[in-house]
Structure 1
Amino acid sequence: MISAYTTQEIELMYRAKGKATGLTDVIITIVDVSDGSKVVDSQSMEEVSSTNAPGIYRYAWTPSSSGTYLAIMKRDISDDSPDQYIMEEMVYVIGGTPISPISGIVTADDVRAITSYDITTSDLSDDELNTLIAYAIAEFNNDVGVRIIEEEVSYIDQYRKNEVDGSNKTFYVQSSFLWYLGDLNNDGNISTADVEVWVYDSADDTRTKYTVSEIDEIGKVILSKAPPSTSTVKITYLRVPLPMSDALMKKAICELSAHYAYMGLDAREKKRVNIRGFSIA
């Protein structure tokens, strides 16, 4: 299954039987499962590359509304022909736009709010609180997340094939749809910087870091270019039980930050000595 957003272009791929090249009769039909209507009707699919990706044909589609769709890809010949191979792909389209960096998961004001504003700017400035938030995020990620180092991509199921064929740029981590991508670099944001992809190419014995162009918190990773078919793809990421944008995740980081803040304030108070109304600090 492919997950996408409205207004986000997705690529649908068809593999011809016997890796046949030069075909001009490969077509795609996309059906809205809810009512059976065809949003794409028998449109031609183009060949990717007869040399680098033989037998692979593609179609770029930008959904205009959310829903569940079935993409049927085949040749425009008889279904019982020995040269016929029919592929089906489910596409789940979510309303909204593709994920953008989630900036500032927790702010200084969030921490003040969770203490019912008991911690004021007279106690700790925003800069001081932001420093504590940075420590809290790192500890939280260490306690809640699991760091996965260079996990080799491989077949998961018919919807997450993770094919390394010279044309595929979309890969899923093994824990996709069960866990979520977390804040790997502890910067308080969820972005493409939180996923590292290394490509080991056996053709020339090289190890290359590929650019991640887009991620989805469910564990989907899209690269800027397709790794060659002679390569092995490995992904480093942090997995967490809930999306970082979830209110419970934010609450936990806020509470940990507030704990650090009160520890500092308590230590500050203990430095003061009060004797019969006279205080020494």
Structure 2
Amino acid sequence: MAYQHILYDVSEKIATITLNRPDRMNAWTPIMERDVRHAMETAAADDNVRVIVLTGAGRAFCAGADMDALKGLDPDDIRRAQSLPPFDMNRRPDWQSRYGYYPSIPKPVIGMLNGATAGIGLVHALYCDLRFAADNTVFTTAFSRRGLIAEHGISWMLPRIVGHANALDLLMSARRVSSDEALRIGLVNRLYPPDQLREQTYAYARDLADFVSPSALAVIKRQLYDVPFQTLAEATIDANREMVVALRGSDFREGVASFMEKRPPRFTGK
């Protein structure tokens, strides 16, 4: 597929999806929506990809929705979006919404936030599994200052990342949040100087790609996203069931063998 508003690249088992409208601070468009979803599906299905990095070109990650597109937005567009085909029929329906399909991807998704992250851009950052940001990044939910509500599942996702009180603050005020505050409240996992963000993010991604079992990562990710819908007993039963599968898998045997032989593992994801 020829992409119009993103770049897609695979190197060293890492797929990079780059929002590519730098002249508009990567403002979100329907074309970008289509491109990102297709690229995510492609990376999820590619056995040569172990980790996915989502970032932006230029000086922003994503400054929110393209205002030209937003001005002409048909309210029925929201209803039509609910009929999108499922991202992955093997995953729970909670992760089949318009943008909330990232948890269905059985691979780590790292948001490399290289600048302004606002509105729908923040929504996508929250759906990433991890968020590494430049230390000059500014965040805002933006919605309430545009007469909009907490959209696309952010009312569910944000409190689980930063807590209920912080989520209320960020959503109701839509104020600008510095990178230091974002780190303090858990909105991001790590901060780096802008000139080190890419190097440090890819070092982390390569470590996952080279030294961590893909099958273990897929199960761990599913477990953590399923937990909000489970009791402790259900989570434990699920873990016991998955442990039996893991103990029978080749990745477990390789993990033990590589440790005993003091060599890098050669995981296959089996």
TM-score (norm 1): 0.24
Larger helix share, 1 or 2: 2
Quick check: which has more Rg, 1 or 2? Answer: 1
Q: Pick the structure with more strand per residue.
A: 1
